[in-house]
Structure 1
Amino acid sequence: MQQTSLHPMLNVAIKAARAAGAIINRASLDLEALRINTKSPNDFVTEVDHAAEGVIIETLLSAYPDHGILAEESGRTHGAKHSEFVWIIDPLDGTTNFIHGMPVYCVSIALAHRGVVQQAVVYDPTRDDLFYASKGRGAFLNDRRLRVSRRTRMSDALIGTGFPFRRGDNFKRYVKMFEEVMQQCAGLRRPGAAALDLCYVAAGYYDAFFETGLQPWDLAAGSLIVTEAGGLIGNFTGEADFLHQREVVAGNPKIYAQLVTTLAPYTRVIKEEDLAAPAEGSNGADAPKPAATPAPAKKRGPVRIKKDDAGDAPV
Structure 2
Amino acid sequence: MNYELLCNKVISIVKLTGNFIRKEAMQFDVQKIEYKGLNDMVSYVDKTAEQKLVQNLEKLMPEAGFITEEKTINRAGKTYTWIIDPLDGTTNFIHGIPTYGISVALYEDRLPVIGVVYELNRGEMFYSYKGGPALMNKKEIKVSNNPDLKSSLLATGFPYYQFDEQAKYLKLLAEMMQKSHGVRRIGAAAIDLVYTACGRFDAFFEYNLQQWDFAAGCFIVQQAGGEVYDFAGGNDYFEKREILATNGKLTTEMLEAIKKYF
Smaller-chain TM-score bracket = over 0.9
**How far off is 1:113 after superposition?**
0.2
Structure 1: runs of 5+ lacking an equivalent: 268-315
More helix by share: 2
2:195 is equivalent to residue 161 of structure 1: no
Partner of 1:185: 180
Distance 1:51 1:126 in 2: 19
Per the alignment, do residues 14 and 155 of structure 1 end up closer, same or farther by CA in structure 2, a change over 3 Å counting? same
Aligned counterpart, 2:192 = 197
Kindly indicate whether residue 47 of structure 2 is the aligned counterpart of residue 50 of structure 1: yes
Q: What are the equivalent positions in structure 2 for 1:167-178 lying under 5 Å apart?
A: 167-178=162-173
TM-score by length of 1: 0.80
CA distance in 1, matches of 2:21, 2:30: 13
Cα distance between partner residues in 2 of 1:36 and 1:256: 39
Distance 1:128-1:183 versus aligned 2 partners, 3 A rule: same
C-alpha distance in structure 2 between counterparts of 1:199 and 1:233, whole Å: 12
Partner residue of 2:112 out of 111, 117, 129? 117
Once the two structures are overlaid, the 10-residue window that deviates more, 40-49 or 159-168, is 159-168
Supply the AA of the counterpart residue of 1:242. Y
**Structure-1 residue corresponding to 2:224:** 229
Q: State which structure, 1 or 2, has the greater radius of gyration over its C-alpha atoms.
A: 1
Q: Report 1:248-287 matches (<5 A).
A: 248-267=243-262
Distance 2:3 2:81 in 1: 19
Question: Shift in Å at residue 249 of structure 1?
Answer: 0.3
Structure 2 residue 94 is the aligned partner of structure 1 residue 99 = yes
User: Which SS does the other structure have where 2:6 is aligned?
Assistant: helix
Q: Percent identity?
A: 38
Partner SS, residue 61 of structure 1: helix
Question: For 1:244, what is the secondary structure of its paired residue?
Answer: helix
Deviation at 1:167, TM superposition (A): 4.6
Partners of 1:24 and 1:48 within 8 A in 2 = yes
- Equivalent residue, structure 1, for 2:207: 212
Write out aligned runs for 1:68-87 (5 A): 68-74=65-71, 77-78=74-75, 81-87=76-82
**What does residue 23 of structure 1 align with?**
20
Residue 12 of structure 1 aligns to a residue whose secondary structure is: helix
Report which stretch shifted further, 24-33 or 139-148.
24-33
Deviations 1:230-251 (CA, angstroms, capped at 9, x unpaired): 0000111211120111211001
8 A contact 2:30–2:94 mirrored in 1? no
What is residue 271 of structure 1 aligned with on the other side? none
**RMSD over aligned Cα atoms:** 1.5
Maintained 8 Å contact 2:65/2:78 = yes
Task: Find runs of 4+ consecutive structure 1 residues off by over 6 angstroms.
Answer: none
- For the pair 1:129 / 2:124, whether they are aligned, the reply is yes
Distance 2:91 2:248 in 1: 31
1-side partners of 2:56 and 2:13: how far apart? 6
Unpaired stretches in structure 2, ≥5 consecutive residues:
none
Q: 2:103 aligns with which of 99, 108, 125?
A: 108
Structure-2-length-normalised TM-score: 0.95
Q: Which whole-Å CA distance do the structure 2 matches of 1:157 and 1:207 have between them? A: 6
Cα 1:185–1:75, aligned 2, differ >3 Å: closer, same or farther? farther
The aligned length equals 261
